[in-house]
Structure 1
Amino acid sequence: MPQLQSHTIRYANPILPGFYPDPSIVRAEDYFYLVCSSFEYFPGVPIFRSRDLIHWEQIGNVLDRISQLDLTDQKNSDGIYAPALRYHEGTFYMITTAVRGIGNFYVTATNPAGPWSDPIRIPYGGIDPSLFFDDDGKVYVTAQQGADYNSHAIQYEIDITTGEALSEPQVVWHGDGGPWTEGPHLYKINGLYYMMSASGGTAKEHREIIGRSDRPYGPFERYPDPILTHRHLNHPIQYLGHADLVEDHHGEWWAVFLGVRLTKDRYSVLGRETFLAPVVWNDGWPHIDNNEGTVSLDMAVQRLPLTAPSTPENHAAIVLGRDDFNEELGPQWLFVRNPSDRACSLTEKPGFLTLYGEETGLGEVGQITFVGRRQQHLHASFTACMSFIPVSDGEEAGLCIRRDEDAHYELGVRRSGGRNVIFARLTVRRESLIVYENETKAEQLLLHIESTEKEYKLACSEDGQNWLSLGSGSARAISPEDFVHKMCFTGAVVGLYATGNGQASKTPARFDWFEYEI
């Protein structure tokens, strides 16, 4: 057979643009599979597949029923942290933490598109658990424990069928002396055990570090420098870290990891995204990019080809264009916490997404009627066609760009003082301001949000030709960096919503279509 020749592989970073942090990856037969954190959003843990590591297709969400993930009363940036995906003898394993929920657990599936099992709980660890299957049949959990400068990694053996601990947890990794030793992964490569983790916190000091040993519990000899960071560079990609390694079909290694694309004003509306880079081995140590700038937005890598190009140049994980709501919602759609049974319907009026507002508003923690998707481009526009004639004061529905309870912009129709009004509202750092309000008799409206690096512009139209500007809000205020008291781990999500503002709404809001354009 003729030997394959290396050639230049070109691709764009991030490979998953938008709020897709904490990636974990595995290769299983002909495909690579990847999962990310989802925090307070449901369904949890989006899962993707790819043949070439570059073009990704979302095939589902791992945690798609309340028996797996109960997010009742979960605050923003709580919920599902840092999943790790592993594959062993025909079974997929996803292990993660439900913060303020059931803690650490894993689920299993033979088909990564689902269904996945109900949670199998494990007893020890703070956050970011990972699984490692050793050659001798032993299975280890490695997890973060402690906080700030006291954080470290613990490890113990489990019965993989029950989650029962078979050994007491041992402290195996203290990191590099920096705060927040997180996302630990144990690997066995060429006969050596490698312990890899993030350090420095998920901001400008973020970095990936590694150690090695001839035993799974160490002690681990730490490589003196980070193997991945941009903390000393003035570079368009920052906060690199929380990595996972994967070997391709040719025995070459790659890393996926999170990073952010900061604007010129040093904020990141889209949040932490998933990036890809080759791993280079030198003297038994893996290297990715230690302040060299080789992880870039436009990558050119000399590697053997994985597959012939079979997908468009555009990211397969980006679903653009119009959703006419003629079929079930695609896997890119998500809810804030678990939706109620009455909140959302595609069958009540076929061809429409029908929403009924709960008593909870967008600025409150609770069961919210909100159906959205991640914003994946700084420059984009979002348009929805809505029919909504509220009859009770407090009922409202519309289009929203959301970071969390503390930061969101929305426009739509609401009932106030016995009349129906078109309105626009900006919520910044928990303070809400109505920037437009005017009575309407319209039965149908087009609602529009345009996103730029600097701002979000809100507009509406009754005929699709004549547009009325309703105001604008700064993009910085929606960025994760602009949090008030609690650090924000998510990114911008655009969605359709309804609320009764204190009581359940009886009036349906019907959306004929939603369109995402760049």
Structure 2
Amino acid sequence: MSGPHPVIPGFHPDPTVCRVGDDYYLACSSFEYFPGIPLFHSRDLRNWTRIGNVLDRPGQLRLPVESPSSAGIYAPTLRHHDGRFWLIVTNVSDGGNFLVTATDPAGPWSDPVPLPGVHGIDPDLAWDDDGACYCTVAGVSQFRIDPDTGRTLGEPRPVWSGTPGAKAPEAPHLHHIGDHWYLLIAEGGTERGHGVSIARGPAPTGPFEPCPANPVLTHRSTDEPVQNTGHADLVQAPDGAWWMVFLGVRPRGGSPGWHVLGRETFLAPVTWVDGWPVVGPVVSGAEGAPDGYRDDFASPELAPEWISPRSRPASHVTTREPPGRLTLRAAGASLDEPDAVFVGRRQENLTCRVRTRVDAAQGRGGLAVRLDEGHHYEIEADAREVRVTARIGPARTVLAARSTHGEPLVLGVDIAETRTLDDARTGPDTLAFGVEEADGTFTALAALDGRYLSTEVAGGFTGRVIGLYAAAGTVHFDWFAYRPSPSTTPAP
């Protein structure tokens, strides 16, 4: 079976959630992309609407050009306390941990308050009944802090670090529920062994006793269609019910299975038995952009879903010059370069169709599917020809080309999930790049195996981003259209 859909599909890992009244707010990691930390709103936990990005100003987020992909922004925690929203996070590429706050989650969010005394990643925030603030980080260790100034109060202390021998205790979240403080963590690594465990104690500092049924969530060594489940957070609904949000992946193809959309956000109900959480089956969300979308770049600002590696200077990316077109001015000479000018949106569906109209008469650029600098496919145009190029690790190859006359072109990619698995080595999907002709027919120039744009091949923590780029001169785009296609479940 195809399995449940994520509630937030595509590359949206490390979910953290809080509720204020009838409203839920959820944030995710963003790694090397700017703007950082996508933020969502929901009334039912199943249907989420993007309301912005927490780090949407260059002064809030510095990602040096030399920082590698899958670095940057790791694992936020979002909380509401004393009339304000608080978000704590790590920038592993510049400065470590910091806090930002807002009275309206849609922004604006404050400039960062640095936490120079808090060392570690995946920071959590919790306040006790006396107003003392605790920051717990992966490892697992805990600090008292002054969240208004960023000052650390006293020395760090170790707390419960999960199952003895289990690797990578991380993603701690403290919750005061009933008479107990619960410390929720992820462990086992963020690959197939990922899981969620929990302990409880009388105070935020412990001492903590582990749940006898740990891990309370894992899909390791199962045939569940959602794998790598972990990095969870808890939230209580207005009716008293409890829920867990967590990351997972949807591997496809043969062995070992490749996930291409990155780690996505899933949802499951939680019941309490003898004071311990019992996690129920995964609840299916929407199938990601069910009607697709089209952006005609009519707004003077890009929609919050558009992201770029490390930075997006207005001198290189604009919808104002001229109005109604996306204009990209090149920096790096290809997507292999860390300063490449690229704007994209996360791939949300396992099968989809993307089209864009490009005018490259004064430059070189086109449509790309990106995982990182060493793993991307693109169809690129200039004044003389259009070509399909693949970068896979150290190899860069031009796979097909045809001549043009410098006229605007509609470039496209059709992504189709693998239909049958007649060979255990079969990849997860196929990406067909080509040109849409004047009569609407699509001429594919090359079809590429999707496994090479997967985490299992490339490594790292991100997922596919589909977007537009310039590699020389100035390139204009009239519109960008994304449409999901009917999903086909692979046959065994």
- Please confirm whether the aligned pair reaches a TM-score higher than 0.5, indicating the same fold: yes
The answer on whether the counterparts of 2:11 and 2:261 sit within 8 Å (CA) in structure 1 is yes
The answer on whether the counterparts of 2:181 and 2:204 sit within 8 Å (CA) in structure 1 is yes
Secondary structure in 1 matching 2:277: strand
Secondary structure in 1 matching 2:323: coil
Matched-pair identity in %: 44
Q: Deviations over 1:104-129 (max 9, x none)?
A: 11100001011111111112221100
Counterpart CA distance in 2 for 1:438 and 1:15 is: 41
Match of 1:517 in 2: 483
Kindly indicate whether residue 278 of structure 2 is the aligned counterpart of residue 287 of structure 1.
Answer: yes
Residues 295-334 of structure 1: matches in 2 within 5 Å? 295=282, 297=284, 320-327=292-299, 328-334=301-307
Counterpart CA distance in 2 for 1:135 and 1:457 is: 57
Counterpart CA distance in 2 for 1:318 and 1:143 is: 37
Counterpart CA distance in 1 for 2:85 and 2:226 is: 32
Match of 1:308 in 2: none
2:97 to 92, 98, 104: 104
| Aligned partner letter, 2:195 | R
| Aligned partner letter, 1:99 | V
Counterpart CA distance in 1 for 2:455 and 2:287 is: 26
Q: What's the CA shift for 1:412?
A: 1.9
1:30 to 19, 22, 34: 22
| Aligned partner letter, 1:156 | F
| Aligned partner letter, 1:477 | Y
Pick closer, same or farther for the CA change 1:370–1:464 going to 2, 3 Å.
Answer: farther
Secondary structure in 2 matching 1:452: strand
Counterpart CA distance in 1 for 2:267 and 2:457 is: 27
The answer on whether the counterparts of 2:325 and 2:476 sit within 8 Å (CA) in structure 1 is yes
Match of 1:4 in 2: none
2:311 to 326, 334, 338: 338
The answer on whether the counterparts of 2:4 and 2:226 sit within 8 Å (CA) in structure 1 is no
Match of 1:50 in 2: 42
Counterpart CA distance in 2 for 1:60 and 1:326 is: 18
Pick which of 175-184 and 324-333 moved more: 324-333
The answer on whether the counterparts of 2:266 and 2:283 sit within 8 Å (CA) in structure 1 is no
Kindly indicate whether residue 421 of structure 2 is the aligned counterpart of residue 448 of structure 1.
Answer: no
Match of 1:274 in 2: 265
Match of 1:353 in 2: 326
Pick which of 69-78 and 35-44 moved more: 69-78
Counterpart CA distance in 1 for 2:209 and 2:124 is: 20
2:74 to 64, 81, 97: 81
The answer on whether the counterparts of 1:442 and 1:462 sit within 8 Å (CA) in structure 2 is no
Q: Deviations over 1:125-158 (max 9, x none)?
A: 21100100111110000001xxxxxxx2111111
Q: What's the CA shift for 1:212?
A: 0.6
Residues 107-506 of structure 1: matches in 2 within 5 Å? 107-122=100-115, 123-144=117-138, 152-177=139-164, 178-224=166-212, 225-265=214-254, 266-289=257-280, 294-295=281-282, 297=284, 320-327=292-299, 328-365=301-338, 367-390=339-362, 395-414=363-382, 420-453=384-417, 454-483=429-458, 487-500=459-472, 505=473
| Aligned partner letter, 1:135 | D
Q: Deviations over 1:274-327 (max 9, x none)?
A: 0011111000001215xxxx22647xxxxxxxxxxxxxx665x77722111111
| Aligned partner letter, 1:399 | L
Q: What's the CA shift for 1:361?
A: 2.2
Kindly indicate whether residue 84 of structure 2 is the aligned counterpart of residue 91 of structure 1.
Answer: yes
Match of 2:424 in 1: none
Counterpart CA distance in 2 for 1:158 and 1:127 is: 15
The answer on whether the counterparts of 1:183 and 1:242 sit within 8 Å (CA) in structure 2 is yes
Q: What's the CA shift for 1:462?
A: 4.7
Runs of 4+ aligned residues of structure 1 deviating over 4 Å after TM superposition are: none
The answer on whether the counterparts of 1:13 and 1:276 sit within 8 Å (CA) in structure 2 is no
Q: CA RMSD in A?
A: 1.6
Match of 2:426 in 1: none
Q: What's the CA shift for 1:414?
A: 3.3
Counterpart CA distance in 2 for 1:270 and 1:33 is: 22
The answer on whether the counterparts of 1:344 and 1:353 sit within 8 Å (CA) in structure 2 is yes
Match of 2:425 in 1: none
The answer on whether the counterparts of 2:370 and 2:376 sit within 8 Å (CA) in structure 1 is yes
| Aligned partner letter, 1:42 | F
| Aligned partner letter, 1:511 | F
Counterpart CA distance in 1 for 2:182 and 2:311 is: 38
Secondary structure in 1 matching 2:183: strand
Please report the TM-score for the alignment, with normalisation by the length of structure 1: 0.87
Q: Deviations over 1:333-357 (max 9, x none)?
A: 1111112231111111121111111
| Aligned partner letter, 1:195 | L
Please report the TM-score for the alignment, with normalisation by the length of structure 2: 0.91
Pick closer, same or farther for the CA change 1:464–1:335 going to 2, 3 Å.
Answer: farther
Counterpart CA distance in 2 for 1:340 and 1:176 is: 46
Counterpart CA distance in 1 for 2:431 and 2:457 is: 16
Secondary structure in 1 matching 2:324: coil
Kindly indicate whether residue 2 of structure 2 is the aligned counterpart of residue 15 of structure 1.
Answer: no
Q: What's the CA shift for 1:440?
A: 1.5
Q: Deviations over 1:357-394 (max 9, x none)?
A: 113421122x221110000011101000111113xxxx
The answer on whether the counterparts of 2:100 and 2:109 sit within 8 Å (CA) in structure 1 is yes
| Aligned partner letter, 1:414 | D
**Where does structure 1 lack aligned partners over 5 or more consecutive residues?**
1-10, 145-151, 299-312
Counterpart CA distance in 1 for 2:278 and 2:412 is: 45
Q: What's the CA shift for 1:439?
A: 2.6
Aligned length: 464
Counterpart CA distance in 1 for 2:276 and 2:126 is: 19
Counterpart CA distance in 2 for 1:383 and 1:272 is: 25
Counterpart CA distance in 1 for 2:284 and 2:193 is: 20
| Aligned partner letter, 1:80 | I
